[in-house]
Amino acid sequence: MNNVAVYCASSSQVRHVYQDAAYRLGLIFAAAGIGVVYGDGGIGLMGELARGVVAGRGKITGVIPQFMVDEGWNNELSTKTIVVKTMHERKSLIEQLSDGMVALPGGIGTYEELLECLTWKQLGLHSKPVVILNTEGYYDPLLSALDRMVEEKFMRPIHKDMYSVVSRVEEVLPALRNAKPWETSIRKFAAI
């Protein structure tokens, strides 16, 4: 595993426990020699993640649309910044550059990125591990919704194997490394 995508919030007003988790995750990836690919934000969890990677002397690549650079939302700490035209290009490139994905707590943008990478996996467009860091039970409502999708037959039980859930930062890297294999041929199960 060379690079991992991390989806997380840019809000600077979240509780310290979330910011601390992002920073520590950056340190962990740096210590393991794993590069981080993210949305290039300079504040909130994105900023803390970048600070952790840099403090650990790791590499972090930011992918950001031009309109966000124009607003000054990019992060000067990123080892490398790739500027794209659209949000769609940003998400696609982050996935292409990564060998796995991790979702930290975040808002609708983070939810959307997580759900899109799960949708792509369900359709067999990638087979990369996806880990949800459920700090403070943040993702409990989403996990309940995913369980309900299975109960109501909007998803198959096998689709719960597309992701793993951990509650502690220290569990993220082992979860990525020990993820259940996912074959792209599984797309035949995408339809219910």
Q: What is the mean pLDDT of the chain?
A: 95
Q: Tens digit of pLDDT for each residue in 21-53?
A: 999 999 999 999 999 999 999 999 999 999 999
| CB hemisphere CA count around 13 (13 angstroms) | 1
Q: Tens digit of pLDDT for each residue in 46-73?
A: 999 999 999 999 999 999 999 999 999 9
Cβ distance 130 to 162 under 8 Å?
A: yes
Given this model, what pLDDT does residue 191 score?
A: 60
Which residues have a Cβ under 8 Å from the Cβ of 158 and sit 6 or more positions away?
186, 189
Mean pLDDT of 126-136: 97
Mean pLDDT of 164-168: 98
Given this model, what pLDDT does residue 183 score?
A: 83
Say which residue, 187 or 149, is predicted with more confidence.
Answer: 149
Locate 134 and state its tokens. Answer: 């459920």
Residues above pLDDT 90, as percent of the chain: 92
Q: Is 143 helix (H, G, I), strand (E, B) or coil?
A: helix
Cβ distance 99 to 140 under 8 Å?
A: no
Given this model, what pLDDT does residue 71 score?
A: 94
Domains and CATH numbers, the chain: 3-189 (3.40.50.450)
**Within 10 A of 187 (CB to CB), how many other CB atoms are there?**
13
